[in-house]
Structures are given as C-alpha cells and as structure tokens.
Amino acid sequence: MNKKDAEKRIIELRNLVEYHAKKYYDDDNPEISDFEYDMLMVELRNLEKEFPEFSSNDSLTQKVGGHVKKGFKEVVHEVPLQSLQDIFSFDELIEFDKRIKKSEEEFGKATNYVVETKIDGLSAALKYKNGILVEGATRGNGIVGEDVTENIKTIKTVPQKLKEPLNITVRGEVFISKADFEKMNEERVLDEKTLFANARNAAAGSLRQLDSNITATRPLDIYIFNVQKIEGKDFNSHYEELVFLENLGFNVNPVKILCKNIEEVINAIKKIGEERESLSFGIDGAVVKVDNLSLRENLGSTAKTPRWAIAYKYPPERKETVVKDIICQVGRTGVITPMAILEPVAVAGSTISKTTLHNEDFIKEKDLRIGDTVVIQKAGDVIPEIVEVKKEKRTGDEKIFEMPTLCPVCGAPAIREEGEAAIRCMGIECPAKLLRNIIHFVSKEGMDIDGLGENLVEQFINKGFLKNIADIYDLTFEQISSLKKNGTKFATNLINAIEESKSRPLHQLITALGIRHVGSKSAKTLAKNFKTMENLQNATIEQLSLLEDVGEIMAVSIYEFFKENQTLDLLSRLKSANINMEEKEDENVNQKFVGMTFVLTGSLENYTREEASEIIEKLGGKTSSSVSKKTTYVLAGEEAGSKLTKARDLGVTIISEKEFEEMVNN
C-alpha cells in the first residue's frame, strides 16, 4: 500500500472506530460485534505501525474510547484505569513473553504470570476511606470517569464496609451473569422491547442509569481484579493482592491461575476456552498479567496500555445446523414472534436448539425456509442468531413459512398494520396478554383501581383467581385476604376500590379496554360523541372517521375491536357486573371553553400539563400539541420553546398561567 492510500485508509479507520467506540462505550448500543471492532483496531494499529508518519495521539489506538455521560459528575482517577492490548494468536503471546524476558534479564526479577478471565462487563473503580465505601466510578476515558456511587451501592456483592479500616481503591468489572441476562432478554421479548445485544451492554446501561432506583432493579454483580492504590500495606505479587482482597471481603474474579512460564499460560488459556461455557458469567478472552509487582513497575505503561499485561481474545465460533421448524410465541402486548427450532448444535460450548427470528421481514430478507441448513453464532457470545442461510444445500423439500393470520394462543385475528414490522394478536382475552391487559385496565387513566398493582395482579393470575379482565369483579374477600398475613384491612380496601371503579365515566372504561391507537384523549372524544358503549359498538368506520382526533387507522382499529367475539364476551361480563357504560355530563360545569383550542408549552408553576388539559376539557375546550391558525390560545409557562415563536408569527393569542387561572375562575 502506498502512502497516499495508507493515509486515506487510516483516516477512514479512525472515523469508523471512533463511531463504533461511541456506540459501545457511551451509548451502550453497539452496531457491530466485538470481533469486528477488534479487527478494525488491529488493521488501524498495523497501518500506524507501518506508516508512523501518520500516527496521532488522538487515535483510539493511543487512548480509551469512553466519555462522561451528561448528567453524571466527573471523577478524576488517582490511578488511571488503562485498557489492554488485544492479541488473537499464541504466536503474539510468545512475542509478548520474549519482551518480558528481556526486561527480566535487565532488572533481575523473576517472571511468573497470572491468567484471569476477561469478564464481559464494565470497568469500575471503588474507593474506600477507613474501610467505608465513599466513591464508585466508571472507567470513562481512563483518566476521567463518571460518579456512579449510588448505583454501585445497589450491587449486592459490593461491600459497603471492609473487614479492615483501610484507605484503598480497587478496580473491578461490573457484569450480569448469563442466567440473569437470558432471563432479562426473555422478559424483554415478552414485553416487546429491543433485546440487549450482549451482557456487557446490559450491565453498562444498567450501571450508567441516572436513576439509581432503576439500577437497583437490574441483576448487577462485580468481580474485583486489581488494587489500584492502598495505604499502609505492601505486596510483592499480584496473586498475593488477589488473595488479600478476597480475605478483605471483596468478590474477586474466581478464575486466577498462577503460571510459571508461557507454556503454562497457553495451557491455562486453552483450559479457560474449553470451560468458558460452564462459567456463570460471560467472558470475551483471557488476561495475562506479570505477577511480580516490582517488575511491573520497571516495565511501565504506554499512554493507553500497561506493558506488563495483555488480553488474548477468543474468536467467535460458528456452526451449521438445520431449521427443523418455525413456531410462534405471543408477547405480553400481543406481538407474535417467530422462533426457529434447530437441530441441536454445540456453539461456544453450549447446545443451541432454538433462536428468535425477530419478525416476518427478517425471515423474508434471509429467504429462510423450514428445512434450510443455516450458520449460527452467538451474538456477544450469548444470544444465538442465524447469520447465513446455505441455499446451495437445499434439496427442494424445504417449506416456505407464512406468519399466522390467527393468534396461536387464543385464535383471535393476527394483524400486521401498515408501516409496522410486528404482527399482533387482536384478542383482548388472550391468555398471553392477560397480565399486561389487566395492569392497563386497572391503571389510573383506566378504571383506577387503587391497590391493584402489578405484583398483586401477577399473584392473582398465578393462583388462578384471574383468567380474564372481568374476573376482577368476581374476586372474593377470602381470595384477596389469603395473599397477605393479617390481610383483612387490605382485602376490605381493595374490595371497596373495585366496587368504586364500577361507576367510573365511560371514557375511562374505553381507555381501560386498551383499544389499539386509542389513548385517554381520543377515549374522551368517543365517549362525548357516542354517549353509550352500545352506540360506540355499533358505530361505522365512516362515523368514527368523521370525529376530530380520530383518523382512519384509529377508526378501523376501533371498528374491528368491537366486532371481535372476545370483546363482546368481555363487555357482556362487565355489563353483568354493573360497570357504568354511559357518559354522564355534569350539568353544573360551565362550558365556557367550548369551541376553543389551547396549546400548552413550557413548564407551569401550579399545574402539570395533564392537569391543565383536564381543566380545559372539563370546561368544554380542546388541547392540541401543535400551533396553527385554528389555535385559540397558547398557554405559555417557563422556558417555552418553538411553539411560542410560532404563535407569535401566526398572531395567536398568548396567555400566561395567571391569565389562564383568571379565565377559569371568572
């Protein structure tokens, strides 16, 4: 490669690795695999070595890629948290050993190595004063990290107080175990959320939450692997440090193998590779460290990496197998996800027998058929995925898969709406959707049943007390009180709350039904115009489409919802339970805002936007999210933005919160 082409490729590679490093370190949302990123870095490092005239301190080969996330306080590390140079062959490892041997001869220090697993997580430093945890920080760029002290404290294996009153800073890797990670992703499939790409990103995203209450709900763990700084104690070897940390109460990396020479190191790496799937945590390599701390000091570091340690990266493993069948599972909101049933095959040490196919488009893009031979790998060494279809191995017996038109769980129509990748079950009584449907039904905007939270609903379902939304109104005092010790008062309160919900306005019942595309605002429009549930059930698509706030897509959704047998069955049961099915207007309420449209912008002092909107609607007015010539008033609070500017441009009347209150009260 000539100099001109080399310079061009170096610039291109730097931009690529900067982009992907940001996705990995800062956004916790990588777009390529670790192996692909490593290969880009190897190519860049080799080119910079071959053409040193183009080397730069700004290159990611010379620095760590992370930055401090907005919202976190900065922490300057007293001892830098460096990264490791990656290698991909035992030849490179032997070269590393030769360099260490030269230093050994020069400084007269004995060379042992410690081999540890390279845990797939997020690096963090923990600082203790007098044995009390006072600070937790992410690595960041190695020099400056993020203050995540409150989040670190939520990790159960982080000691808040040490067995000795020491001033010490340690470094560890925050991670999520394989079992916990798989459970999290299984729940995300059911909740129809994007899957975490791998355990590392799940851990990093969890630790870097601005709300520590969210972090506390995530199954984070930590393994400590280094003493960064300590007062009043001296150590001769790294292995000695690790044993000391263990005795001090830290959760230390359980895989730490002391080796006398490079041959033992290679054997240790091979052994870890063979046993990696039996580990409870994910790894992406093995770390080789010089054990003698004095020799480490003599060896020193570059700006980015220590010269006394190196990381051996295991290549991703791919295997061929056969798609025996494709089945579908239904998520908690009704999304139907295809799943490939595979001829069992061992990949990276574990047996894979099924994998998600995401949606209909994924199957069509790959032209995947039942009976196809496919290549699978574990994304991030955890999630199995189909990466290639071996079309040349087709025999002609393969079958094209079609997504179902009926829900495989309840038999209701399964519909894919225009512009969406997902196919959804439309049945309101579908058992797969039961938990989510009941939680929505009892929510504040729905039937507002105080005390009937998610945990309680789940218990009722597990005990068989709730098999349908309408079963809420058949719950007995004995059933409710049986869930809690001394549950008499609790049961009385919940029975009263359920009874009270029967008289909610019609618009709350419409909201509670969870009709696709219908929110609380459009539910009020429907209730106001049709007055009764019966009228709404009998409405045509044309009648629905004529209403303001109800477009054609929503109109079709409402119409089809009320034609479903499951919907009719539920409404019949709710009617039998004496649930209110009429919208009763309060004749005493002044309708002074009839015909007026308000747009709210900025933050109000005495109301939330929802509260202000409710007042406007009770007085007969409407609210809109955008300013137009039809807007009557723009209610502007503090830090009002572009809507205020547009109102001025269009000559729309702008009112303050004080003026709004005067309008309401007069």
Catalytic residue ranges: 118
How far apart CA 328 and CA 338 sit, in angstroms, is 4
Residues in the chain: 666
CA angle 565–566–570, rounded 5-degree value? 115
Report the SS3 class of residue 305.
coil
Burial of 444 (0-12, 13-18, 19+ CB in 10 A): exposed
User: Edge-to-edge strand order for the sheet containing 220-230?
Assistant: 132-138, 122-129, 168-176, 220-230
Burial of 165 (0-12, 13-18, 19+ CB in 10 A): exposed
CA angle 404–410–411, rounded 5-degree value? 45
Q: 342-345: long-range contacts (C-beta < 8 A, 24 or more apart)?
A: 342/374, 342/376, 345/319, 345/320, 345/321, 345/376
How far apart CA 427 and CA 413 sit, in angstroms, is 7
How far apart CA 649 and CA 642 sit, in angstroms, is 11
Of 177, 136, 140, residue with least CA distance to 160: 136
**Phi-psi sector, 71: left (phi>0), alpha (psi -120 to 50), beta:** left
CB 289 within 8 A of CB 308: yes
Q: Is the dihedral of CA 179, 180, 182, 187 positive or negative?
A: positive
Of 427, 408, 407, residue with least CA distance to 569: 427
Report the SS3 class of residue 642.
helix
